[in-house]
């Protein structure tokens, strides 16, 4: 199939820098980082020039909030270890994409001042200072708090000298059997150039001496990435894999004297650049670019604090990295590997187990095997809130029943990210093999999931699905399913629009919203949109959805302005927003103007926020809150007061964050929620999340986030995630008392 039939031309958009971000898909990843929009501050029409916060500092502040959860002694111990791992993974991705992208733009001369007025070099210098502070604090949390607390619970994270004699004997046997055969020591001398150091790999810098000549030699040993980060020395006792290798270097360098060994780690630019307009086949081009990704320039060097100065100088020189980009830390490096420790079967050291149940609107028509989703949707729309409502008995069942139903004629689906053993993909394959028309729009450029998406694209094609890769220049980020079913003489369309990926595994730890509906307007809208994504349709106006890049930003801004009109007319007015990130200057300026007019604005943001709240004369009516916890807050939700009439207020949910990439360079969809009961439930959710009685972080006008977890009397504030868990458990008990 040619590229022309798979990737259609997008509406021409203003040329802007390519995207540089990080994934939302890695389990418990922090947040998506958007492209480097270095376009300078917008005019603002009378608004102050210093009205925006720096987005890089805001991202680092987000990761600091993750670190605060790891530092909190009231967080369950293994969850503290997990938050340490999340912090490390987040920072890895930040350097691989955000810092790498900024350095690339500086090197090519295309970088300009940020919206705060800072030069690119000033932004980079601030990143290095703040990141160094945080990495030092992160290491201290592990060394002084978490590791000793784990030891007190019988979980020992040890270094090689701490192992008992019998444990060292076991590790020697393990080394010879499982590690030694896959190691490749690489000498560095005039005949052997300095080897390529792959990104995020652990490495040993080794200095050996020839006893015959007395000459010193340098070598590098890479830690095989497929080995466990921490090896089991004995039950509940673990040792870093690099310690075991370092203890056996004599076996790698026979006849040589090992003088010193030091662990180091390099972070490289792992951003992708594929010029789609010049690419005949996007899939093949992306496969080639993924191979080139391995050879991106270095952007960070981590070394153990005890490193020998000569070895340090050699690494800096050979890697061609500045000293500002070197981070000296106490070992062990790469604490993202703590995820394996956090996964130990010690439930008393974790959050209490919770498994979402079947949504009550689906359970009411539940059969002996599974809820009949089509029967439920013919009665009413179903508003889903994951993970409190089960993904498997709602969205997954919806698609599996569609695949098996002989009356279903067609299924149309977007896939941005999904799991490696995806039941969603299997359902689509089953549907195609049974003769149904199946259209799947696979976003090949979902960052760091490109390999998986290429694999599924090929598998879907082989099964007979029509696979398309979206529009040139635009990522397809919307979360959509459309099912067309023959019912008597008519065709009825059933749809799902969500805020999260069709990923059963992350649906258990990501907080997301979704709407299942058979409403004709939504079905017609999605039919029109899929025709645009797979063909040449150019529809601009829809009935119940807003679509980026054409109508979403303007649609939101017009509704913010409408609240200003309500307020000026003496009617109640309010704006409430829940997003992962708030960066878009046009939307922020609209919120500032609403605040100046007296409209109360509540923003619930997980990660980046460049709006300055609480500034007199600018944003004193704006509050910004952030909630982090056991689940990753991931839903996007927009509520407008509608003049105070509960029957007329508008609530929208969907895939779009308020970032330039979402509004300008992605296909994003928001759907208007029609059911008054659903609108009330979502408005209550927003009110609870932004309430001063709810535990959260509060943002001030200077960009400082302050944690509010207890009231003035020292009592814990409401944990919104735990409250929602408890409400689902109580609802389940009321429906089935035997389920207590």
Provide the β-strand partners of residue 268: 298
**φ/ψ of residue 602, rounded to 5:** -115, 130
Please list the residues that pair with 479 across neighbouring strands.
498
Closest CA to 203 of 185, 176, 221: 221
- Take residue 699 and report the two structure tokens written for it: 């943002």
Angle value at C-alpha 710, between 705 and 711, nearest 5 degrees = 110
- Any binding-site annotation on 665? no
447 labelled ligand-binding? yes
Annotation-wise, does 606 bind a ligand? yes
Euclidean distance between CA atoms 471 and 494, whole angstroms: 24
| Largest CA-CA distance found in the chain, in angstroms, rounded | 93
* Residue 551 token pair: 């109508």
Which helix or strand (DSSP H or E) is residue 7 part of?
strand 7-8
DSSP 144: I
Helices (H), 186-343: 241-246, 249-252, 282-293, 309-319, 338-342
477 is catalytic: yes
SS3 for 357? Answer: strand
- What's 353's DSSP letter? P
| Interacting residues of 81 by C-beta distance below 8 A, sequence separation 6+ | 70, 146, 150, 338, 341, 342
Q: What is the DSSP letter of 708?
A: E
CA 44, 49, 55, 61 torsion: positive or negative? negative
Whether 298 and 324 have beta carbons less than 8 Å apart is answered as no
* Phi, then psi, of 528 in degrees rounded to 5: -65, -40
Find the angle CA(355)-CA(360)-CA(366) to the nearest 5 degrees: 95
314 exposure class (CB count in 10 Å sphere: 0-12, 13-18, 19+): middle
Task: Tell me the residue length of the chain.
Answer: 740
Number of helices followed by number of strands (H, E) in the chain: 23, 29
Phi, psi of 553 (to 5 degrees): -60, -50
Which SS3 state, helix, strand or coil, does residue 73 take? coil
- Residues whose CB falls within 8 Å of the CB of residue 385, separated by 6 or more in sequence, listed in order: 511, 512, 513, 635, 685, 724
CA distance 137 to 702: 22
Asked if 70 and 98 count as a contact pair (C-beta separation under 8 A), the reply is: no
Which residue in 359, 477, 567, 678 is the catalytic one? 477
What sign results for the dihedral spanned by CA atoms 231, 235, 236, 239?
Answer: negative
Backbone angles phi, psi at 442, to 5 degrees: -100, 125
Alpha-helix runs per DSSP H in 247-382: 249-252, 282-293, 309-319, 338-342, 360-363, 373-379
| Contact criterion met (CB below 8 Å) for 201 and 225 | yes
- Residues at the annotated binding site for Mg(2+)? 417, 447
Where is the binding site, in residues?
90, 417, 447, 510, 606, 634
Residues annotated as catalytic are 477
Return binding residues for ATP. Answer: 90, 510, 606, 634
């Amino acid at each position: 199939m040619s590229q022309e039939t798979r990737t259609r031309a997008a509406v021409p958009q203003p040329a802007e820098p390519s995207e540089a971000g990080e994934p939302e898909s890695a389990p418990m990843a922090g947040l998506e980082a958007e492209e480097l929009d270095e376009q300078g501050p917008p005019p603002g029409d009378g608004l102050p020039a210093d009205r925006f916060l720096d987005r890089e500092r805001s991202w680092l502040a987000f990761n600091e909030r993750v670190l605060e959860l790891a530092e909190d002694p009231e967080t369950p111990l293994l969850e503290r270890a997990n938050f340490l791992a999340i912090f490390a993974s987040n920072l890895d991705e930040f350097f691989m994409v955000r810092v790498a992208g900024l350095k690339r733009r500086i090197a090519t001369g295309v970088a300009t001042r940020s919206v705060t007025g800072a030069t690119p070099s000033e932004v980079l210098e601030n990143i290095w200072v703040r990141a160094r502070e945080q990495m030092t604090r992160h290491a201290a949390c592990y060394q002084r708090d978490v590791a000793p607390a784990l030891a007190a619970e019988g979980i020992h994270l040890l270094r090689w000298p701490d192992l008992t004699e019998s444990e060292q004997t076991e590790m020697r046997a393990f080394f010879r059997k499982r590690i030694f055969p896959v190691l490749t020591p690489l000498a560095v001398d005039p005949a052997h150039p300095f080897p390529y150091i792959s990104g995020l790999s652990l490495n040993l810098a080794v200095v050996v001496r020839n006893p015959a000549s007395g000459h010193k030699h340098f070598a590098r040993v890479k830690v095989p990435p497929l080995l466990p980060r921490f090896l089991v020395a004995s039950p509940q006792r673990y040792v870093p894999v690099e310690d075991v290798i370092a203890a056996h270097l004599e076996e790698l360098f026979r006849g040589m004297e090992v003088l010193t060994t030091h662990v180091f780690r390099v972070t490289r630019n792992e951003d992708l650049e594929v010029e789609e307009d010049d690419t005949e086949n996007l899939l093949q081009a992306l496969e080639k670019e993924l191979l080139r990704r391995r050879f991106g320039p270095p952007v960070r060097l981590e070394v153990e604090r005890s490193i020998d100065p000569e070895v340090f100088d050699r690494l800096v020189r050979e890697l061609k990295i500045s000293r500002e980009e070197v981070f000296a830390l106490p070992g062990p490096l790469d604490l993202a590997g703590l995820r394996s420790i956090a996964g130990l079967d010690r439930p008393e050291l974790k959050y209490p187990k919770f498994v979402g149940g079947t949504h009550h609107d689906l359970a009411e028509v539940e059969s002996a095997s599974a809820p009949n989703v089509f029967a439920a949707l013919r009665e009413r729309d179903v508003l889903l809130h994951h993970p409190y409502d089960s993904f498997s008995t709602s969205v997954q069942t919806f698609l599996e029943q569609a695949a098996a139903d002989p009356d279903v004629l067609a299924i149309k689906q977007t896939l941005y990210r999904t799991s490696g053993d995806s039941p969603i993909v299997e359902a689509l394959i089953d549907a195609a093999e049974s003769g149904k028309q199946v259209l799947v729009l696979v976003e090949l450029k979902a960052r760091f999931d490109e390999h998986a998406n290429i694999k599924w694209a090929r598998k879907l094609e082989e099964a007979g699905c029509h696979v398309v890769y979206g529009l040139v220049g635009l990522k397809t980020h919307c979360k959509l399913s459309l099912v067309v079913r023959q019912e008597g003489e008519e065709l009825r369309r059933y749809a799902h629009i969500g805020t999260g990926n069709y990923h059963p595994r992350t649906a258990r730890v990501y907080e997301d919203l979704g709407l299942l509906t058979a409403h004709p307007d939504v079905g017609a809208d999605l039919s029109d949109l899929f025709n645009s994504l797979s063909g040449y349709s150019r529809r601009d106006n829809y009935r119940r959805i807003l679509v980026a890049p054409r109508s979403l930003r303007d649609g939101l801004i017009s509704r913010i302005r409408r609240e200003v009109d309500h307020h000026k007319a003496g009617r109640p007015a309010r704006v409430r927003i829940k997003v992962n990130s708030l960066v878009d200057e046009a939307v922020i300026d609209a919120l500032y103007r609403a605040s100046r007019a007296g409209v109360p604005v509540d923003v619930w943001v997980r990660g980046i926020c460049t709006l300055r709240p609480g500034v007199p004369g600018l944003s004193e009516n704006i509050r910004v809150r952030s909630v982090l916890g056991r689940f990753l807050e991931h839903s996007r939700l927009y509520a407008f007061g509608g003049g105070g009439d509960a029957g007329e207020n508008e609530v929208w949910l969907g895939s779009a964050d308020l970032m330039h990439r979402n509004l300008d360079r992605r296909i994003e969809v928001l759907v208007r929620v029609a059911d008054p009961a659903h609108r009330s439930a979502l408005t209550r959710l927003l009110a609870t999340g932004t309430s001063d009685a709810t535990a959260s972080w509060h943002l001030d006008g200077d960009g400082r986030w302050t944690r509010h977890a207890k009231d003035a009397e020292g009592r814990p504030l409401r944990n919104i995630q735990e409250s929602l868990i408890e409400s689902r458990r109580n609802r389940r008990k009321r429906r089935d008392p035997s389920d207590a």
